[in-house]
């Protein structure tokens, strides 16, 4: 199996010299993202991932890396601590997962770079979470992934059409079944946004897949709007990745 092509990650060395910080991935050094952790993201081998058995209705899921080590630390730093400069490398890893899903499951049988726009539909954060964090981490990652896909010749745009229709409880500590009950019916596509989904091939994107509850609910909402996605992609996965 050949190694996937690497993507470009901007070198932020100048800023790191001015504002030195420990690497958010390995927690050592004097840079927010050291070269070793940058290489971990840039050389990921994305492939099928997600829970087994998968929730009903969940399309094929591809992830860039396991949710462990530097990848886990980088996602937490970006999401919870607002280390926004990590959006580009994490978005690059997400783009690699999207390309992997497209190559394997595109309904049109086209490879990335061929005609056909991809619509990256991010799983939305709640308004309270966005307010508390001061940013929308998944929307930022989706935009970074779309830029990387376009740079590599794949037409892509972000379609943030999903929104929360009701409040949900904190997912932490819930079992897989409880997570699905908690999220079922929580997302919707407003009528005024539904037309956007017909401008390309939708792919649901998220930072992490664990039980698949969030992705399954996003798929249900898109299907209710008449445009079910054919695949999903995440930066990382906690479940054991199936072999290719």
Question: What is this structure's pTM?
Answer: 0.82
pLDDT in tens, 135-152: 899 999 999 999 999 999
Predicted confidence band at 6 (pLDDT cuts at 50, 70, 90)? Answer: very low
CA distance 108 to 233: 18
pLDDT at position 74, please? 95
pLDDT at position 25, please? 92
Bond preceding residue 53 cis, omega within 30 of 0: yes
pLDDT at position 108, please? 54
Residue that has been written with the tokens 């745009």 in this structure: 157
Least confident of 94-103, 140-149, 172-181: 172-181
What number is the average pLDDT over the span 25-44?
A: 87
Predicted confidence band at 99 (pLDDT cuts at 50, 70, 90)? Answer: very high
pLDDT at position 113, please? 40
CA distance 59 to 56: 9
Residue that has been written with the tokens 């959006």 in this structure: 87
| Cα dihedral value 141, 147, 151, 154, nearest 10 | 90
pLDDT in tens, 211-228: 888 899 899 999 989 998
Buried b or exposed e, range 130-166, using 16+ CB within 10 angstroms: eeeeebbbbbbbbbbbbbbbeebebbbbbbbbbebee
Which residues are bridge partners to 71 per DSSP? none
- Nearest to 78, CA basis, from 69, 68, 88, 92: 88
pLDDT at position 185, please? 57
Is residue 180 within 8 A of residue 39, CB to CB? The reply is no
pLDDT at position 233, please? 97
Pairing of strands 231-237, 201-209: parallel
What number is the average pLDDT over the span 28-39?
A: 86
- 3-state helix, strand and coil shares in percent for the chain, rounded to the nearest 5: 40, 15, 45
pLDDT at position 215, please? 92
Domain 45-237 has CATH 3.30.70: no
What number is the average pLDDT over the span 176-185?
A: 60
Alpha carbons within 13 A on the beta-carbon side of 209: 35
pLDDT at position 110, please? 44
Q: Strands, E, within 4-104: which ranges?
A: 47-49, 61-66
């Amino acid at each position: 199996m050949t190694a996937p092509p690497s993507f470009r990650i901007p070198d932020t060395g100048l800023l790191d010299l001015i504002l030195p910080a420990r690497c958010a991935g390995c927690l050592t050094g004097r840079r927010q993202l050291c070269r070793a952790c940058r290489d971990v993201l840039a050389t990921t081998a994305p492939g099928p991932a997600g829970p087994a058995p998968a929730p009903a209705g969940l399309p094929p899921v591809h992830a860039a890396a396991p949710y462990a080590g530097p990848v886990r630390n980088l996602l937490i730093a970006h999401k919870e601590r607002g280390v926004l400069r990590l959006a580009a490398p994490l978005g690059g890893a997400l783009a690699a997962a999207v390309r992997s899903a497209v190559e394997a499951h595109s309904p049109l049988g086209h490879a990335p770079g061929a005609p056909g726009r991809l619509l990256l539909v991010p799983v939305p954060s709640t308004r309270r979470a966005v307010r508390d964090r001061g940013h929308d981490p998944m929307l930022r990652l989706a935009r970074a992934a779309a830029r990387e896909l376009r740079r590599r010749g794949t037409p892509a745009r972000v379609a943030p059409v999903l929104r929360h229709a009701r409040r949900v409880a904190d997912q932490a500590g819930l079992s897989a079944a409880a997570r699905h009950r908690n999220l079922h019916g929580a997302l919707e596509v407003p009528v005024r946004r539904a037309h956007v989904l017909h401008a390309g091939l939708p792919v649901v994107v998220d930072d992490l897949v664990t039980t698949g509850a969030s992705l399954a609910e996003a798929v249900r909402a898109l299907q209710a709007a008449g445009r079910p996605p054919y695949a999903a992609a995440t930066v990382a996965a906690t479940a054991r990745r199936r072999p290719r």
